[in-house]
A and B are shown apart, each in its own frame.
Chain A
Amino acid sequence: MTAQDARATGFGAAVRQAIITAGGPLKALPWDINGTDRTRHAARTAAVVSVAALLATSLPFLANDYFVGFGFSLLVWIALTESWIVISGMTGYISLGHVVFVGIGAYVAASAWHTLPIGIILPLAGLAAAALASLVGYPCLRVRGPYFVILTFGLSELIKYIVINIESALAVSGRVLFGAPGIDTLYLIVLGLAWASVMIALTVRESRFGSGLRAIRENEEAAETIGIPIAKFKAAAFVLSSIIPGMVGALLIMRTTYFAPLEAFNPQTSVLIVTMAVIGGSDRPLGPILGVVFLVVLQELLWANLPQLYMIIVGILLIFIVVWMPGGIYGRLQQIIATVRR
């Protein structure tokens, strides 16, 4: 539903405002005024991202394993943060437990290893994550604000301890994945997933569904009044944001070839997803990409000599961006571009 549609339906001004502001804080920008321009812009972004992805397929043939490995982790984080914004960026329900989907995907992959081919394991991992998300989505998304943040964290810890108990009841102590594919193959698969996650984020954002999600973020009661099925929308977004992390979890475990629940469900992953998205700017599909690239490159420059200092700098940056640069890197860039154009 675009802003024009909402106006045409003739609902109250507050609701209309909610939907217009749902377009993001950057409404001063030219393409935000007009829905078709925005769609055109999105299409352009999609085309650029697709070309970039297509070019990126050549990396394993051009560069050594180090660069491919570097690209792999970059793309893993892009896939995770882009998936995360479908629920948290668009609806404002901040999930601090997205690692649970990564962990479940990893668990499925590790359990099915040697019995099923990768072509089936991957979708199965995504499916398992989606199943979990649909199971917990409805009840959890009734809880709002800080409660939701804490709830998602608690939920991922609960699932972690359940998996730990299952594994120890089965007397399985860590699962080794022998014969996992090499980094080149994993890179190409995760490239596909990262591309898909950006496409999903872009498509959702431009769709009627996405406008509904943003309306929920601005004012949930108002959104309900204009007939948006909020419970269904939120749950759908939650499930949508879980599938790719599940598949990424499967790939990560093929990368390290060893599954242990404590590592697979490490809450640090959830926190990093939020951090990267916020540093980049979580309102727009391109924002998280900037955040990921920024942090991963920064790490590459600092980790050799100053690991603790890298973490301290991440902390300072995070504080700085939240307090003084609310739109993140992407928001800041757009402001600069807008000023230059004017």
Chain B
Amino acid sequence: MTKQLTTIAMALGLAAIGFGGAQAADPVRIGFSLPITGIFAPAAPSQQKAYELWRDQVNAKGGLDVAGTKRPVEFVSYDDQSDPGQAAKIYEKLIAQDKVDLLLGPWGTPHHFAVAGVLERFKFPMVGDTAASVQLRDLKPGYIWFPTSALPDEQGKQLPLLLKSLNVKTVAITTAQHPFALENKKFIVEGLKANGIDIVSNADYPLDIRDMTALISSMKQANPDAELSLSMTGDSVLYTRQSMELGFKPRVQFVLVGPAATFFTGIFGDKANGLLTMGHWSPSQKKWPKAKAFFDAYVAKYKEPPDYLDSALSFEACEITEQAVAKAGLDHEKLRQVISTDTFDTIDGPVKFNGVVNATTPTMFLQYQNGVFEIVWPKSEATASVITK
């Protein structure tokens, strides 16, 4: 409460001085919400850590370059309790009440959709991060952008090509009943058919599944060249663990979401070697000098590797925002134009948006190889070649 009163008092004081005379030391206040409590709470840390690493790095450099003036960065963040409605409310508060200068994304696709309308209404530009759905493409372009290139329609085209290059003739698919997994399934099945790859087993399962013995046993009988586990997080651990236990070892194993998260390789260690997963960032990519630097700084600060999807995307969103602000300052309209048209140099290489989505970064796939995820597809981006069993 006192903090709020101070904020109001500060705002009033600022108004009295007049905005023209903003001091160099005035912090740039950046707002966001994350699920600190509730069902998605385990997902929040990898994003929060990326945001905080960026903030600390910027402040260590003397502050955020706002069109020539360096100002320290300060975060204003709230807990959305894993509820998208709450996220919408928080972004309204951040804009209308806290009057933050900039915004960063919440966690997850539903939350980004909930926030998109708020941004549109206030004409407040924000670079999103941890969302992925083909439906993002349908969002009205203008005030939100997504650096991800792991969109299901593209993955549906690329994954079958990767499989074909490995001489895969038959696949089994298991899909979690979750929007993102189902979207991927739809496009991947189309892609497999177009490439003449046989689907020998295809089953969906609910996210609260606790035992996959029956599911994996039936796949084992089908004996496919490749298994595509279109899973989210908890179930991807269950799938990986039980397929190891049951001795289900197809030549190629792809797990959609999960392997790239920090805890996953923490649990499986070397046993995760050879797993393929979605993702389009790796510290091994020499083409992107910032990639390794980010990885090292993250490991130094947090004593654990970043999440190859969430942490990387979140940091990327910060970098894009930083570079846009350096050029355009904090004016929303100018920022919007710069973000929509410029090319940004990020840990994930150059990024340029077309509408709301990333137009430069190709869709890639990663493989866990001795402690690091290497980019193995497409060939033009590969940092290592695919290993198969």
Bind each other:
yes
Which one, B78, B95, B140, contacts A304 given CB within 8 A? B78
Asked if A151 lies at the interface with its beta carbon under 8 angstroms from chain B, I say no
Asked if A213 lies at the interface with its beta carbon under 8 angstroms from chain B, I say no
B92 and A69 within 8 A (CB): yes
- In A286-342, the 8 Å CB interface with B consists of 301, 303-305, 307-308, 310-311
A301 CA to B79 CA in the complex, in Å? 12
B114 and A258 within 8 A (CB): yes
Asked if A65 lies at the interface with its beta carbon under 8 angstroms from chain B, I say yes
Please give, as numbers and ranges, the residues of chain A lying within 8 Å of B177 by CB-CB distance.
164-165, 167-168
Known contacts A73-B85, A173-B186, A174-B133: A260-B110 contact under CB 8 Å: yes
Asked if B123 lies at the interface with its beta carbon under 8 angstroms from chain A, I say no
- In A55-111, the 8 Å CB interface with B consists of 64-70, 72-73, 76
A176 and B135 within 8 A (CB): yes
A258 and B206 within 8 A (CB): no
Asked if B17 lies at the interface with its beta carbon under 8 angstroms from chain A, I say no
A304 CA to B183 CA in the complex, in Å? 35
> Which partner residue on chain B sits nearest A180 by CB separation?
B117
Please give, as numbers and ranges, the residues of chain A lying within 8 Å of B38 by CB-CB distance.
268
A326 CA to B265 CA in the complex, in Å? 49
User: How many pairs of residues, A versus B, come closer than 8 Å at their CB atoms?
Assistant: 115
Q: Mark A21-43, 1 if CB is under 8 A from B, else 0.
A: 00000000000000000000000
> Which partner residue on chain B sits nearest A301 by CB separation?
B1
Q: From A125-133, A191-199, A249-257, give the one contacting chain B.
A: A249-257
- In B177-204, the 8 Å CB interface with A consists of 177-183, 186, 204
Asked if A266 lies at the interface with its beta carbon under 8 angstroms from chain B, I say yes
Interface size class of B (residues with CB under 8 A): 35 or more
A268 CA to B296 CA in the complex, in Å? 39
- In A179-204, the 8 Å CB interface with B consists of 180, 182-183
A173 CA to B114 CA in the complex, in Å? 16
> Which partner residue on chain A sits nearest B178 by CB separation?
A262
> Which partner residue on chain B sits nearest A305 by CB separation?
B3
A171 CA to B184 CA in the complex, in Å? 11
Please give, as numbers and ranges, the residues of chain A lying within 8 Å of B114 by CB-CB distance.
255-258
Q: Mark B102-141, 1 if CB is under 8 A from A, else 0.
A: 0000000110011011100110000000000101001110
Known contacts A65-B96, A69-B93, A260-B110: A173-B183 contact under CB 8 Å: yes
Query: How far does the Cβ of A204 sit from chain B's closest Cβ, in whole Å?
Result: 28
| Size of interface on A: residues with Cβ below 8 Å to B | 42
Please give, as numbers and ranges, the residues of chain A lying within 8 Å of B87 by CB-CB distance.
256
Query: How far does the Cβ of B174 sit from chain A's closest Cβ, in whole Å?
Result: 13
Q: Mark B140-170, 1 if CB is under 8 A from A, else 0.
A: 1000000000000000000000000000000
A308 and B85 within 8 A (CB): no
Which among A182, A262, A301, A303 has the greatest number of chain B C-beta atoms within 10 A? A303
B78 and A73 within 8 A (CB): no
Query: How far does the Cβ of A80 sit from chain B's closest Cβ, in whole Å?
Result: 12
- In B84-100, the 8 Å CB interface with A consists of 84-89, 92-93, 95-97
A289 CA to B92 CA in the complex, in Å? 24
Which one, B37, B85, B89, B186, contacts A311 given CB within 8 A? B37
> Which partner residue on chain A sits nearest B113 by CB separation?
A258
A65 CA to B81 CA in the complex, in Å? 20
> Which partner residue on chain B sits nearest A255 by CB separation?
B85
Q: Give chain B's interface residues, CB within 8 Å of chain A.
A: 1, 3-4, 36-39, 76, 78-79, 81, 83-89, 92-93, 95-97, 109-110, 113-114, 116-118, 121-122, 133, 135, 138-140, 175, 177-183, 186, 204, 206-207
Besides A263-B84, A303-B78, 11 more A-B contacts (Cβ < 8 Å) are A66-B89, A66-B93, A66-B96, A67-B96, A167-B177, A173-B133, A174-B110, A255-B85, A262-B207, A263-B110, A307-B36
Q: Give chain A's interface residues, CB within 8 Å of chain B.
A: 64-70, 72-73, 76, 161, 164-165, 167-168, 171-174, 176, 178, 180, 182-183, 252, 255-258, 260, 262-263, 266, 268, 301, 303-305, 307-308, 310-311
CB pairs A–B below 8 angstroms (30 shown): A65-B92, A65-B118, A66-B97, A69-B92, A73-B86, A167-B182, A168-B175, A168-B177, A168-B204, A171-B182, A173-B179, A174-B109, A174-B135, A176-B139, A180-B117, A183-B92, A252-B85, A256-B85, A256-B88, A257-B113, A257-B116, A257-B117, A258-B110, A262-B178, A263-B110, A304-B76, A307-B36, A307-B78, A310-B79, A311-B37
